Amino acid sequence: MFLLHSSEDAHAFFGEYRQPFMDAVELGIRDCDECHAHYTQNIVRDAITHPATYRTHDIHYRVQVRAEQMFKNIPGVRTEYGPNNSLVLVFDDKAHVRFQKLNPDFKFPTTNMTKREQDFRNPSATNLFGQLPLECVYAAYRLRSDGMLRDLYLMGMDQNEGKWTYNVGRGQGEDPLNIDFGQAPVAPVVTPDELARVRRNAS
């Protein structure tokens, strides 16, 4: 079923695209910070914090913009947009790749139960005419504490399980297959007092 069975297969298939992947992420980070700097220096003319909760989403958007620029003219690569306007790169109609931020502990900061994730990582549902399903790959990047790129991996997924990794750049030998795609939901703690209805005296 799967085109890519190992990190060696992934290296052979994606090796020629290593630089565009790295450029897309690094330029996306730069674009985000330059836009914020321009806004604070020329628009509001005052220092404004750049919180991670805002910066992370902005980086992701700009990485996708840069990736589309980098890959749209490469033969054999097709750019598409899926749910929530997420960029998908399709390589030779064999593998599709989406960018995703990784936390420092190699956990994806999203849930695996959304329809978008399930559709992306379970492509057999679209296999209606005998075509082989596309290999599901995340271009997963981690940021350093100073906000710059720490490392970038391509990760092949089979439903919720990591199958292989390809160190695109700056990896330090950690095993990113020990990943947990999202956190388990936390059950709310309810005290008995919260379940009791407050009685009110009839007037």
What is the full DSSP assignment across 70-129? HHTTSTTEEEEE-GGG-EEEEETTTEEEEEEE--TTSEESS-TTSHHHHHHH-GGGG--S
Range of the structural domain that residue 86 is part of: 7-195
Residue 89 has a pLDDT of: 94
| Lowest-pLDDT choice from 9-18, 73-82, 153-162, 194-203 | 194-203
Residue 187 has a pLDDT of: 43
Identify which has the larger pLDDT, 197 or 165: 165
Q: Is residue 16 part of a domain?
A: yes
Q: Is residue 165 part of a domain?
A: yes
Instruction: Judge whether residue 193 has pLDDT over 80.
Output: no
Residue 128 has a pLDDT of: 46
Interval 149-153 mean pLDDT: 91
| pLDDT band for position 137 (cuts 50, 70, 90) | very high
Q: List the one residue out of 167, 187, 185, 186 whose CA is nearest residue 175.
A: 167
Interval 170-191 mean pLDDT: 51
Q: Is residue 202 part of a domain?
A: no
Cα distance between residue 171 and residue 116, in whole Å: 28
Number of structural domains (the chain) is 1
Residue 70 has a pLDDT of: 93
Q: Is residue 2 part of a domain?
A: no
pTM for the full model?
0.76
Q: Is residue 148 part of a domain?
A: yes
Identify which has the larger pLDDT, 170 or 137: 137
Instruction: Judge whether residue 158 has pLDDT over 60.
Output: yes
Interval 128-135 mean pLDDT: 64
Q: Is residue 86 part of a domain?
A: yes
Q: Is residue 201 part of a domain?
A: no
Angle at the Cα of 173 from the Cα atoms of 167 and 175, rounded to 5 degrees: 80
Identify which has the larger pLDDT, 135 or 199: 135
Q: Is residue 183 part of a domain?
A: yes
Residue 84 has a pLDDT of: 74
Interval 33-56 mean pLDDT: 75
Residue 75 has a pLDDT of: 94
Mean pLDDT in the chain? Answer: 77
